[in-house]
Structure 1
Amino acid sequence: MSRHNLPALLVLSLFLSLTGCNGLPRSSATDAPQLGPILPDSAARTAWITQILAQDPLASQDRQPPPRQSNAEVVAKLRQKRNIPLPDAYWAQWQHNLDAFDADTARHKEAERARYIATFTDQLKRVDDPTLLRLATAPDSLDAADRDAWKQRLIERYSRYIIDSEVSRDMIDAHLRRMALMDRQHGVCALDSDCWDRAPTP
């Protein structure tokens, strides 16, 4: 299938996989100082950590994806545009494949978000009570060195999330294989040369 028929997310993912993540924010600061060992839990520490995580945009974000055109609508428009004599089962499989790709993407991103939260939580568990209290209630009251260190840790965590949460080449290849198998099963390439199962161009 031609590139303009690919979902926008797939096209973007292909582009990022080829160009890399050169647009990620960079910090001129040196690495943040190493934190100490994990400190014993307490009710107060748990409450402060919960409060800090609730203030973090990524850790506290709504897991629901933003509204967009449904895969059913995408397939319906494509079916009308192509006007090829194919059974309902073909178009149902197309939607199923798009749904599977979206589900793979969502699971991958949520797993990386969980890793981000786990990393942040681990960092917070290594902080003494006065610093943890300030981070929870008045982060601006930290001294300049501590503020810079936590800013650097934020940049490192978020940059790692941006890199690792991108749709992987394996996920894209799996989607393309599903689409090629779908076209092969329905003999689409005999009806339209613009199909998923065609041989790659040399």
Structure 2
Amino acid sequence: MSSFFTGRVLGAVAFALILSGCSVSGSYPDATELDAAKLRFISDMSSATLSVLDEQHCGGQTTGILNNLFLANTRRRVDMSMPPVSDKTPYLEIRLSPNKELLLHLNTQGTGSVCGMAFTFTPQSGAEYELTFNRAGSQCMTMLKRLHQVPGQVARSPVPLVNKGIPSCMGANALFPVPAKGLPATPERDGLIEQIVSQSIITEMKPGATSLSESAQVEAVDLVVNKRKQQMNLDLPDAYWVQYRQNVATYLVQTQGIKANAFDQYKVEYRTRLSRLDTPSIKALVPDTQATDVTQALATNGAMLQYYHRLNEQLQKEVMANNWARMAELDKRYGVCERYAQCWQN
């Protein structure tokens, strides 16, 4: 599950959409591969849209529109084998090329707010998915689930959402802006920048001085594996559990490194942003000097603290997604999903 920004926009959004040429069915052509993946996009929000982006389509291709005041809901369908939970909430369906990394962009424009989100997605061969896009209080929420059938039921397994962007699209349009270059470095500027960065660091950013001991790690892995065995209650070979144990151990090690990674990336990003400023502007951000602009310094540090929190969350999602992919491959190799509804699905 992921939440993202909400904000106010001008009225007459539906009319603006019509003027911009947004069609009911969109411009995205369904994939034609026999093993194409299928995705159902479900939303109850005003003027909800889903666009598909890749290296050849940095501007995105639209798939249609839902819940627009002046346009009928698209009836786009691709004969998915598993029905939606309810037919009451509008939805559309598309076919996606398998094993190809895409960027899916969701957007909605109501009379008083706008919400948007993007995430990287690699559809699996022949798989079926559901993507929901709804509001929860003051936030918009999205969730991607993979659908699969087990005896007597349809199972919906959540898939983690991570936005890796499209590096080759950098500079192609406003969605992928090229960062401004920094000004030439000098000893004076480098010293000022280091003062700002070093004094912005708070306790919560600093990596822990100690990590789990080897015995504590083994105990933690045993706890996870044994609990999973009890939940599944399946007859699986020892080789499966050896690999499962290794995956858990790898995930544990990677999660312990997240904070240090975020800390290092934070300092690099802060230095990069400051390098784009002229020298007087940098001096105004150095704490406790005659040239300090306290208001601007606090605002800059506050913005960078928000960046740190977003970065830390993003790194956690990436580690989780990598572990998810390893577990999904393992369960697929041993046919777990045919017998267990809560299997790992990618």
Matched, 1:53 2:53: no
1:142 deviates by: 5.7
1:165 to 312, 326, 346: 312
Are residues 1:179 and 2:327 paired? yes
Measured in 1, the distance between the counterparts of 2:249 and 2:340 equals 24
Tell me the C-alpha RMSD between the 2 structures. 4.6
Q: 1 or 2, which has the higher helix percentage? A: 1
Separation of aligned partners in 2, 1:194 and 1:102:
21
Is the Cα–Cα contact under 8 Å of residues 221 and 248 in structure 2 kept in the other structure? yes
Q: Which amino acid aligns with 2:307?
A: R
Q: More relative contact order in 1 or in 2 (CA 8 Å, sep 6+)?
A: 1
Deviation (angstroms), 1:183 = 1.5
Structure 1 pair 170–113 and aligned structure 2 pair: CA distance change class (3 A): closer
Alpha-carbon shift at residue 146 of structure 1 (Å): 1.0
> How many angstroms apart in 1 are the aligned matches of 2:321 and 2:185?
44
Question: 2:187 is matched by which residue type in structure 1?
Answer: D
Distance 1:83 1:165, change over 3 A: same
Question: Which whole-Å CA distance do the structure 2 matches of 1:149 and 1:79 have between them?
Answer: 55
Is the Cα–Cα contact under 8 Å of residues 112 and 164 in structure 1 kept in the other structure?
A: yes
Following superposition, the deviation at residue 57 of structure 1 comes to: 1.9
CA distance in 1, matches of 2:263, 2:247: 24
TM-score normalized by the length of structure 2: 0.35
- Cα displacement (A) at 1:151: 0.9
Aligned to 2:187: 41
* C-alpha displacement of 1:89: 2.1
In the alignment, which of 184, 199, 207 is matched to residue 62 of structure 1? Answer: 207
- Given that 1:179 and 1:196 are in contact with CA atoms closer than 8 Å, whether structure 2 keeps it comes out as yes
Superposed CA deviations along residues 115-138 of structure 1, whole A, max 9, x for unmatched, are 32023335389656xx59x63xxx
Equivalent position to 2:4, from 10, 20, 32: 20
**Structure 1, gaps ≥5 residues long:** 1-14, 24-35
How many residues in Structure 1 have an aligned counterpart in Structure 2? Answer: 162
Amino acid paired to 2:297 = W
| Partner of residue 113, structure 1 | 263
Tell me the SS of whatever aligns to 1:86. Answer: coil
Q: Is the 8 A contact 2:197 2:267 kept in 1?
A: no
1:75 to partner: Cα distance: 1.3
> What residue in structure 1 maps to residue 295 of structure 2?
148
SS in 2 for 1:196: coil
Alpha-carbon separation, structure 2, partners of 1:60 and 1:53: 11
Q: Which has the higher strand share?
A: 2
Choose from 78, 96, 99 the match for 2:228: 78
Q: Distance in 2 between matches of 1:181 and 1:95?
A: 14
* 2:249 counterpart of 1:90: no
* SS of residue in 2 equivalent to 1:70: helix
- C-alpha contact (below 8 Å) 2:211/2:256 kept by paired residues: no
Q: Does the CA contact (< 8 Å) of 1:109 and 1:165 recur in 2?
A: yes
